[in-house]
Structure 1
Amino acid sequence: MSLSIWHIVVGFFFSNGMPHFIAGAAGKRFRSPLGANSSARVNLIWGLINFVLGTLLVLWKSPTPEWQSFLLAYWVVVAMFAFGMSHFKGDDF
Structure 2
Amino acid sequence: MATSREYVAFALLGLFGTNAVPHLVKGITGQRHQTPAGEDSSAVANVVWGSANAAIAVGLGWRNRDAVTRGTLATAFGTGVLFAVSLASYWSEDE
Would the TM-score normalized by the shorter structure come out above 0.5?
Answer: yes
Q: Shift in Å at residue 63 of structure 1?
A: 5.0
1:33, CA displacement in angstroms?
A: 1.1
TM-score by length of 2: 0.62
2:27 is aligned to: 24
Question: Where does structure 1 lack aligned partners over 5 or more consecutive residues?
Answer: 67-93
Q: Report the number of matched residues.
A: 66
Q: Does residue 5 in structure 1 map to residue 15 in structure 2?
A: no
TM-score by length of 1: 0.63
Does the C-alpha gap of structure 1 residues 41 and 54 become closer, same or farther in structure 2, counting only changes over 3 Å?
same
For residues 24-60 of structure 1, the C-alpha deviation after alignment (integer angstroms, 9 at most, x for no partner) is: 0000000111100000000001000100111011011
User: In 2, distance between residues paired with 1:51 and 1:33?
Assistant: 16
Matched ranges for 1:39-54 at <5 A? 39-54=42-57
Q: Distance in 1 between matches of 2:12 and 2:44?
A: 24
- SS of the residue corresponding to residue 40 of structure 2 reads strand
What is the Cα-based RMSD across aligned positions, in Å? 2.2
Cα distance in 2 between the residues matched to 1:63 and 1:48: 24
The residue identity in structure 1 corresponding to 2:23 is H
Identity %: 29
Partner of residue 93, structure 2: none
Q: Is the contact between residue 10 and residue 60 of structure 2 (CA under 8 Å) also seen in structure 1?
A: no
Amino acid at match of 2:34: R
**Runs of at least 4 residues of structure 1 off by over 3 A?**
63-66
The aligned residue for residue 85 of structure 2 is none
